[in-house]
């Protein structure tokens, strides 16, 4: 198992693990956390991922006694990462991405958006982050393809994971959690706007997003949810930055920052149980949103909207939220596409936004 973390342009390469900690059934979920804690106490670094479905295991109301088709937890225990001098070689052969297709028809998608609006209308939820998948066939070298995608669209929280069974290529612009001693930062992302098609429209696009009523409402709702979640285990909870907009190759996105303080020796299980999965990928209120997501979405999200990152022996940690993240196995691949649905959402508007988010990949397809 190889884990390449390139968050904030500070690369760490974890390779040749001493052992793997993993599970695909809730019955061994809590034991995995104990194993992680034990490994940290013995001086190991932990690096890998939690799938989105791991979030169901923290709540008895959401728990299902089943074996999942993808690991809930997959973490390697490493002596130490390689730092700084991490490079990716570019092989001479061409990567090929073909056969792009969605796992849902547009009519069924529209129907699901209207169903979510019905839940919102009766006050069951305020927002749902609803996801579909883009499927494709892949031929080539996943690591070089990851490097190619990253060159085309630089992002602040990219990561690459290689195992014997699958490869994960995460081109994520969203931070989940960064813990340094007792200080915790999380940056929920909500709000999307297309780049302009000329110099003037591109210049004003970030301002259009920042002051758009619907996107601001989505963003502040999730920032409040993260403040509440972090407040379950922390103190001095603040939101020092709201409605920050960043430009990417094909779109603009908006984040807010929530901070707090926790016991620097807090149990990993307790911290993740309070925050995972991020409210930015579920909606609000979180528990009910996750129930509706499981009912409406056609299949497991797997790595999409889970968490990728690492934990140091002194329990510092850094994880992204794997959006814009490809999962490739045996020549087949998938990528999740999601968006926050609120009362003001329209089926066509959400569909268009989803296609915009996938553009960084679909533009590279050879059909």
Enumerate the active-site residues: 174, 190
Which tokens in the block code for residue 38?
Answer: 């034990």
- Cite the beta strand spans of 51-108 per DSSP E: 73-78, 82-83, 96-102
Residues in the chain: 367
- HSE, CB side, 13 Å, CA atoms: give it for residue 139: 7
Phi-psi category of residue 164: left, alpha or beta, with phi > 0 → left and psi -120 to 50 → alpha? alpha
With contact defined as beta carbons under 8 Å apart, do 24 and 72 qualify? yes
> DSSP 3-state helix, strand, coil percentages of the chain (rounded to 5)?
35, 35, 35
Return d(Cα 312, Cα 240) in angstroms, integer. Answer: 26
Return d(Cα 121, Cα 126) in angstroms, integer. Answer: 9
- HSE, CB side, 13 Å, CA atoms: give it for residue 175: 19
Specify the DSSP class assigned to residue 195: P
Return d(Cα 179, Cα 185) in angstroms, integer. Answer: 7
């Amino acid at each position: 198992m190889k884990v390449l973390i390139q968050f904030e342009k500070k690369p760490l390469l974890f390779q040749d693990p001493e052992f793997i900690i993993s599970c695909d059934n809730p019955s061994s979920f809590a034991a995995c956390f104990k194993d992680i804690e034990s490994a940290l106490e013995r001086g190991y670094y932990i690096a890998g991922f939690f799938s989105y479905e791991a979030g169901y295991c923290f709540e008895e109301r959401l728990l299902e006694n089943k074996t999942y088709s993808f690991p809930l937890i997959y973490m390697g225990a490493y002596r130490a990462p390689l730092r700084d001098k991490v490079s990716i070689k570019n092989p001479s052969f061409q990567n090929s991405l073909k056969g792009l297709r969605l796992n849902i028809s547009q009519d069924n998608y529209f129907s699901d958006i209207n169903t979510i609006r019905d839940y919102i209308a009766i006050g069951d939820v305020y927002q749902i982050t609803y996801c579909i998948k883009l499927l494709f066939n892949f031929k080539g070298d996943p690591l070089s393809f990851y490097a190619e995608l990253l060159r085309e669209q630089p992002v602040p929280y990219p990561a690459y994971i290689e195992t014997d069974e699958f490869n994960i290529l995460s081109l994520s612009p969203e931070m989940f959690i960064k813990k340094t001693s007792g200080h915790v930062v999380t940056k929920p992302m909500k709000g999307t706007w297309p780049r302009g098609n000329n110099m003037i429209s591109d210049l004003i696009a970030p301002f259009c997003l920042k002051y758009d009523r619907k996107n601001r409402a989505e963003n502040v709702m999730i920032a409040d949810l993260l403040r509440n979640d972090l407040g379950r285990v922390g103190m001095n909870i603040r939101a020092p930055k709201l409605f920050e907009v960043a430009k990417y190759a094909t779109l603009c996105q908006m984040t807010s920052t929530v901070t707090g303080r926790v016991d620097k020796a807090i149990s990993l299980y307790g911290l993740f149980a309070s925050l995972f999965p991020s409210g930015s990928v579920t909606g609000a209120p979180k528990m009910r949103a996750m129930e509706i997501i499981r009912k409406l979405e056609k299949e497991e999200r797997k790595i999409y909207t889970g968490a990728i990152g690492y934990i140091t022996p002194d329990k510092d940690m850094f994880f992204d939220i794997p959006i814009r993240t490809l999962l490739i196995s045996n020549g087949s691949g998938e990528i999740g596409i999601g968006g926050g649905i609120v009362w003001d959402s329209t089926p066509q508007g959400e569909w268009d936004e989803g296609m915009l988010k996938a553009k960084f990949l679909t533009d590279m397809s050879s059909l």
